Amino acid sequence: MAKTLIEIKQGLECHIGKRLRLKANGGRRKTIERSGVLAETYPSVFIVELDQDENAFERVSYSYADVLTETVELSFVDDGPKAVAVE
């Protein structure tokens, strides 16, 4: 796990455009799970564009401090190797 905000920001910058699954603490024992694409990173926040079929919102933003304090957990989805038919 990254130990500083700068390390978290740098780690996210190399994943821009990749699919991710996030789990956020919604308060009062609620956990929010969403999936989408990491759209942009800014000096103090990052933006995730959510899948429209699952969510009412188009975009959400979280701070790097949310990741540091484990209020938000990110996991990048690997699409894996695609099957190619060989004839």
The residue type at 81? P
* Structural domains of the chain sorted by starting position, each given as residue range(s) with its CATH number in brackets: 5-76 (2.30.30.100)
pTM: 0.80
At 67, give phi and psi (nearest 5°).
-70, -40
List pLDDT tens digits, range 68-83: 999 999 999 875 544 4
Average pLDDT over residues 30-59: 90
48: number of Cβ within 10 Å? 20
C-alpha atoms less than 13 angstroms from C-alpha of 84 in its C-beta half-sphere: 3
Q: pLDDT tens digit string along 8-19?
A: 999 999 999 999
* Spatial contact of 48 and 20, defined as CB atoms under 8 Å apart: yes
Q: Write out the two tokens for 59.
A: 């975009």
